[in-house]
Amino acid sequence: MSQFEYRDGLLYAEDVALTEVAKKFGTPTYVYSRAHLEQQYNSYADALDGMPHLVCFAVKANSNLAVLNVLARLGAGFDIVSGGELERVLAAGGQANKIVFSGVGKTRAEMHRALQVGIHCFNLESLDELERLQEVAAELGVQAPVSVRVNPDVDAGTHPYISTGLKDNKFGIAIHEAEAVYQRAAQLPNITILGVDCHIGSQLTSLEPFLDALERVLILVDRLAELGINIEHLDLGGGLGVRYRDEEPPCAGDYIAQVRQRLAGRKLTLIFEPGRYIAANAGVLLTQVEYLKHSADKDFAIVDAAMNDLIRPALYEAWMDIKPVVPREGTPRHYDVVGPVCETGDFLGKDRPLCLQEGDLLAVCSAGAYGFVMASNYNSRGRAAEVMVDGEQMQVVRQRETIAELYANESLLPE
Ligand code: LLP
């Protein structure tokens, strides 16, 4: 169910009209729905009911403290990829022992801190990382819990930039090489083997690649058992897609039912790392039309949000719906909705039938995941505000960045 619906000719986030958000906090502003975050998290957790599990929200999708806090209160775990994300989770009230740490480039300092706070598991991406983790754990005199992220070489059928499970991706360890890595891990005194991990890509709209990967991973689990290496958990990563336009991705319930069926009789804890599924449709980017520019061939709506605020359309040619907050009667024109940044690639949507006037508010939909987190200060533009709606309440959960903040850390050369 969407929490962004029209009521009496106005687009709402839960029980708050987006016109009110713009009036109070200005634009561009990311607006999140607490209810949607909760509903999506619960759809994972409910489907896993009755078996040991951990739903680790992929922090990279949306790392706002309030978003993390809403999920932490529901008992969520977190999938992190940096020391920065680790500190965010802790600051938001997340539990260290529910954190899994992914990523190909973990530094010694990051490992040290993660071991110190006692995270649940490191998802190892290479043999060298395993050796480094052994050293850091030995220095601290602790055990480091690990999974090996295996690359099952399945085609996720998604955009090449967000497909991660093919053998020529930088991620994971080829599944046929994994056995050797586990054998090495088993010899290391400060390493405890916990699980097997895989993440094959993002925005998957069919279950087949997930189930193919699962089958390959289970073969590995059985081979490891023959070697005397017992696996406690399977981490199947994130990747479940959402609807941006007309996609019909499976829901978490169907996905998990299929996984559970294939695991019947095995004693394995299940971990998932969903990001987009939980956050994408929990947010919109609210923006205002600055100018309408008409030429013989083109109509442009120049808005106050740009590629620095939301880069997905420019980077992946991602299609994200753009809705008028207060729809007008009249004949629509086909607008390219563009920002003020000096790049031809600075667009939020192309060829959108809209009936607009200067000053109108637009909502770029499905922007709750990989939206604000990928924002930059390009063109010396401060980053947008973030607001969380909860029923009739709205609260700013990140202030709009000021111009002074933009160069507060810079300095002039000495005289
Ligand atoms: N786990 C790992 C190890 C990952 O690399 C990712 C995403 C996830 C979980 C979460 O995947 P999700 O459930 O969100 O699909 N910026 C791109 C998406 C990059 C995804 C990177 N990895 C976009 O805007 O589409």
Supply the DSSP string of 46-75, one letter for each residue: HHTTTS-EEEEEEGGG---HHHHHHHHHTT
Mutate which of 55, 85, 166, 202 for ligand 1 pocket (most atoms within 8 A of beta carbon): 202
Please give the number of the atom of ligand 1 that sits closest to the Cα of 239: 15
Amino acid identity at 328: R
Catalytic residue, candidates 121, 198, 251, 342: 342
| Residue position matching structure tokens 């829901």 | 251
The binding site consists of: 239, 273-276, 312, 316, 343, 370
CATH 2.40.37.10 domain residues, the chain: 4-32+280-406
Q: Give residue for tokens 């991990």.
A: 197
The pLDDT value recorded for residue 178 is: 97
The whole-number average pLDDT for the span 197-214 is: 96
Retrieve residue 414's tokens: 């000495």
Q: Where in the chain is the domain with CATH 3.20.20.10?
A: 34-276
Q: How far is CA 36 from the centre of its chain?
A: 15
Q: Is 199 in the pocket of ligand 1 (CB under 6 A)?
A: yes
Question: What kind of architecture, by CATH, is found in domain 34-276?
Answer: Alpha-Beta Barrel (3.20)
Task: Note the pLDDT tens digit of each residue in 130-154.
Answer: 999 999 999 999 999 999 999 998 8
d(CA 177, CA 259): 24
**Could you confirm whether 198 is annotated as catalytic?**
no
Q: How far is the CA of 114 from the centre of ligand 1 (A)?
A: 21
Please tell me the least confidently modeled range out of 117-126, 157-166, 241-250: 157-166
277 lines ligand 1 (CB under 6 A): yes
Q: DSSP characters for 96-126?
A: GGGEEE--TT--HHHHHHHHHHT-SEEEE--
CB 4 within 8 A of CB 365: yes
Mutate to test the pocket of ligand 1, among 161, 242, 273, 311 (most ligand atoms within 8 A of CB): 273
Going from the Cα of 171 to the center of ligand 1, the distance in angstroms, rounded, reads 12
pLDDT for position 249: 97
Of 371, 351, 392, 370, nearest in space to 287 by CA? 371
- Residue 274 in contact with ligand 1 by CB distance below 6 A: yes
CB 341 within 8 A of CB 398: no
Is the ipTM value over 0.90, yes or no? yes
Output the pLDDT for position 156: 74
Asked whether the predicted pLDDT for residue 167 surpasses 70, the reply is: no
pTM for the whole structure:
0.97
Atom number in ligand 1 closest to CA 277: 13
For the domain spanning 4-32+280-406, the CATH number is: 2.40.37.10
195 pLDDT higher than 70 = yes
- Evaluate: CB of 102 within 6 angstroms of ligand 1: yes
Mean per-residue pLDDT of the chain: 96
Residue positions forming the annotated binding site for pyridoxal 5'-phosphate = 239, 273-276, 370
CB-based burial of residue 72 (10 Å sphere; 0-12 exposed, 13-18 middle, 19+ buried)?
A: buried
The residue ranking higher by pLDDT, 171 or 365, is 365
Inter-residue contact 6 to 12 (CB < 8 Å)? yes
**pLDDT-derived band at 1, boundaries 50, 70, 90:** confident
Q: What is the mean pLDDT of residues 236-258?
A: 98
120 vs 391: CA distance, rounded Å: 34
Residue 322 Cα, ligand 1 centroid: separation in angstroms?
23
Taking the centre of ligand 1 as the mean of its atom positions, its distance from the CA of residue 162, in whole angstroms, is 7
User: Atom 8, ligand 1: which residue's CA is nearest?
Assistant: 238
346-380 confidence digits (pLDDT tens): 999 999 999 999 999 999 999 999 999 999 999 99
Q: What is the pLDDT of residue 158?
A: 64
* Ligand 1 contact via 375 beta carbon (within 6 Å): no
Q: What is the pLDDT of residue 168?
A: 67
Q: Quick one: which of 121, 126, 181, 174 has its CA closest to 150? A: 174
